[in-house]
Each structure stands twice: as C-alpha cells, then as structure tokens.
Amino acid sequence: MRLLGSDEEKKRSGNRQSHRRPAARHSVADTARRGFQGPDPSLALLGTRRVAMGVMDLPGGRRTYAQEMEFLERVTPTQWRVREGFVPNMRVPGVFYVNKHLETLMFDELRQHVDRGDVGGFLPAVKQLANVACLPGIVSKSIALPDVHSGYGFAIGNVAAFDMSDPNAVVSPGGVGFDINCGVRVVRTNLHERDVTDIKEKLAQSLFDHIPVGVGSQGIIPTSPAGLEAALEMGMDWSLREGYAWAEDKEHCEEYGRMLNADPNKVSARAKKRGLPQMGTLGAGNHYAEIQVVDEIFDKHAADKMGIERLGQVMVMIHSGSRGLGHQVATDALTEMERAMARDGIRVNDRQLACAKIGSPEGQNYLTAMSCAANYAWVNRSSMTFLSRQAFAKMFDQTPDDLDMHVVYDVSHNIAKIEEHVVDGKLKTLLVHRKGSTRAFPPHHPLIPVDYQYTGQPVLIGGTMGTCSYILTGTEKGMEETFGSTCHGAGRARSRNNSRNKLDYAEVLEKLKTKGIAIRVASPKLVMEEAPESYKDVTEVVNTCHDAGISKKAVKLRPIAVVKG
C-alpha cells in the first residue's frame, strides 16, 4: 500500500540516527542496537552471557552475520522462525514467510545491516519483526509476510495481535502506518479486452482526467467541513447518502466500509484541514488506478462468485488510502504516545515503536481517530470508484450499471481492528495490527459477505507498475497461523532513491510500451521509483502465500493501462 505507508514513513524517518535520543535517556533502545550494553542490569547480564558464548566479535559488541543467523531457523520450505534472544526482551518468537527466492533478499538486508554497523536508514525487517515481539501484551508470535520490507517501527508486511484482556497490552501507530487504511478495490465490468484495445490510450486519458492524481492533488468531490465530519464518522454510509456509491458496494467492503467507533472529535483540526481538499484523490507514491484484464483463473468457483466469468474480462483496480488526513492522525498520536510511555514506564527496543496501553486515554484516542481515517479512506476509494464509473460511461456511452461495474471487494492494508481468534486453544479478543498486510478470512466466517461464504474472503494483491496483480481467497490455515492475514503486494526490493539513481525514465517507459501498457503519470520521477525493478516479484510473493496455505490463488490480472500520481 503502499506499501502501506512506506512513502510517508520514510519522510517521517529520514536518517534514523537523527531520531534517536541519547543513550542515557533511552538505554533499552540504545543497548538493543549496540551489543546490549548500558545501564539496564538485565541487558548487561545478556551482554555477559554473550561474551561467554564468544559472540561479541565485532566492535561495540555487535554480532557477526553468521552469529545473527544462528537465531533463525527454517520450519518449512516457506516459513522461518526467529528465536527469542535475537533482540533483547522478546516475549514471543517471530515468524516470517519466504520461499527460496525471497529469503535471499531478506538475508541480504540483514547482512548489509551488520556490514554497515547500523548507520542510517531503517533497521532490517527481521530486526523490526523481533522488536515488535517485545511489545507488552503481544500474543503467539510476531508475523512477517513474504512482501515484508523495512518500515517505520513495524516492518511493512508485519502482523501482530495484542490481548485486549491484558491491561498492559498496547496499541502502536507504527503497527498501522502513516497511510491509514491504504487499501485496494477491484471493480469488474462486462467488457472484454477486445472492446478496449483500440481505445486503450483514450480510456487511460479519461481515467487520468477524471481522477485527481499526484502529490498535493485536490479533489473534485464537493465537501464542506460539516460534510467531512460526517464522512469521518459514517464512512461509506456517507458516500451512499451523497450518491457516490451503490448500496451493494458496502456489502463487498471490509467492515462494510465503516468503523463504528470513529469519533471525529478525536481528529485534530490540522488533520481535517489536510483531508478536506483531498477527497476523491489518488495521491502519489505507489498508489494507482489500473485497467486490467483477467489473465488466468485458478479457482473457477471462487471467480464465478466474484462475477469474473472469462479470460480477457476488463477490471479496474484502485489503490489509495487516507491521504494527508491519515498521516496527520498518525503523527499526532506518536507525539501523544511518547508522553504516555514516559508516564506509564513503557520501554521499547526502538523509539519508532511508540505505543500506549490500549485502555489508556491516548490508546483510545488513537483508535477512534484511526477509525475516522479508515472511514475517510473508504470514502476516498468510493469517490474514485464513482469517477471511474463516470469515465467508462462517457467512453462507452453506457451507464455504469449497463457496464456491470460492480465492486468485487475492497480490502484494507494498514489498520488495527478488534477481532476474535483462537490462541493456545482459547478464544481471545485481540487487537490485530496489520501493516502492509491484508485480512484473509476463511469460508463461513461471520464477518465476510454472504456472496463469499463458501469461497472465503477475496484478497486483492496489487502488483507493481506494469506487472500482474492477483485475487486470492482466505483459508482456515491462515486463520490458524497468521490471525487470518496474508500479503498485500510485491514489497519494495530497493529504496526510492536507489531507483531514481539506477533506473532510466525513458527505458522504463519503453518497457511498458513493449508490453502494450498505456501509462499516465503526473511526475516522471515516479516512473523510476515504481518500476517493477524496484519491487520484489509479486508472483513469488503470492506463490509463497499459496504454498504456505495461508491464502489461495483464485485469479490473475494483467494491466493494460496505468494511472499514477
């Protein structure tokens, strides 16, 4: 979803060193990164034990890459476990899902971290995964999915659940991300690829003209301050009331497009100011609107239930989130939570894991404000669905209904939600953080629509610019192993700066042209940042989830036109 918050998180983080406090004030965070030395006696003891084991071979007491790898063990061909002790104070183990191809990227990141001596940038994803395993109230394990990559606090692709009955359990904005409820929506049509081949460029331009794109873009959906307040509280019910959504759209949306605990009074004036002009805008980064065609059907029964009936069927995929409003909600919460941590004596391995007890005023304020931002994101995607329907209707001189432009499903990538799960044989109420990961509930789950009760929840996996996307379905094994979660996209393989420096704008465009893909982009530099070479192979990511059994392949989609900020 960004890779759900990745753009905004990196703006927030900048150089990691500049966000660290002096060691004397943050001994846990500092010692976790400098060989477990410092004023905390428990950490000093850990350091003594490591000396006895002969692991302090690098300057500053750091472990070598080989010594770091001793804490990682393969469980299955697609699953690895991070043993406790990899970082101090782990309460549960870590688990990450990768296949042979993807594990190389994971381990290379760890090796580079060891080689550079932890200077600048985010911690490697496997370290972030382990640091999350140290948070108060976490249950079972800290989970990373195949598209995992470093993010702010939590890695992007990290899932962690916290026991609501534990008074010390926490909520962390870093476990949701800055682009709250960044997500994906797929709209089907009754058109075939041959119906759009000759007008593909015009259709791409029509979408580009209808949907405002780019950094700072402003929407054309008329919204007053009072209307924004209502949208934050009502979510898609506001879109329905205002005529920007169909009644059946809600049925095919996670949470039915509305978080009921939203309270606009908990959203700051600055967040509202940022959100007011951006309703119905795509934004920039890895957000996009794509015209796609069905390239392969793996599960015909599931595809039929989604209204996907044939190869070549034209679809529209929209990937966007809560824009500046969501970013501000996260920023405001982090400031509040740093004060709450000092008050309540909460200690974490990484300052970016700022958190508060779920039941504290700060925890509750964040959850209600986050719900408002989630509602805003659903309204945003609903508004762009309305604009997409208008673009197609104008191009084909038919109504959107005649074109069968129904929502297949809408999923969230960056969100924390209260759910019931079985942990160690007992049913527990948990606050599940999903950052850069997708809910993937199995067949017969009460929280998925009637239409998908026999297939499992549709899971929408967006590819990168010019690569395929997938629709999966949730499985019972995923419910058991990952709190009903799976991947959300390809996941970055190289930084945006690296992409700009190493890739050529004209060459990337030429490759898209040879694939027959029409492209409209507001900023040329984004072409390099979002090129397929900047990301992991989405097919490898999806195959890992499928082979691990945590979700199941249903449909493969191929892009024919891309609109980006």
Q: Which residues are catalytic?
A: 488
SS (HEC) of 92-132: CCEEEECCHHHHHHHHHHHHHHHHHCCCCCCCCHHHHHHHH
Nearest-angstrom CA–CA distance, 404 and 389: 10
Q: Six-digit token pair at 529?
A: 């940042």
Place of tokens 């609107």: 289
Nearest-angstrom CA–CA distance, 77 and 427: 29
DSSP 361-407: HHHHHHHHHHHHHHHHHHHHHHHHHHHHHHHHHHHHTS-TTTTT--E
- Judged by DSSP in three states, 257 sits in helix
CA 14 to chain centre: 20
Report the half-sphere exposure of 184 (CA within 13 A, side-chain side): 31
Residue 14 burial (CB count, 10 A): 11
Phi, psi of 319 (to 5 degrees): -125, 110
CA 73 to chain centre: 26
Place of tokens 């762009």: 384
Q: Which of 273, 372, 285 is nearest to 8 (CA)?
A: 285
**What sections of 54-210 are H helices per DSSP?**
65-69, 100-116, 125-132, 193-196, 200-210
Q: Report which residue type is found at 230.
A: A
Taking CA atoms, 337 is separated from 73, 92, 151, 174, 345, in Å, by 35, 23, 19, 11, 12
Residue 59: Cβ-neighbour burial (10 angstroms; 0-12, 13-18, 19+): exposed
Residues counted in the chain = 565
- SS3 breakdown of the chain: % helix, strand, coil, rounded to 5? 40, 20, 35
Nearest-angstrom CA–CA distance, 562 and 532: 13
Nearest-angstrom CA–CA distance, 89 and 67: 18
Place of tokens 């948070």: 135
Nearest-angstrom CA–CA distance, 50 and 181: 42
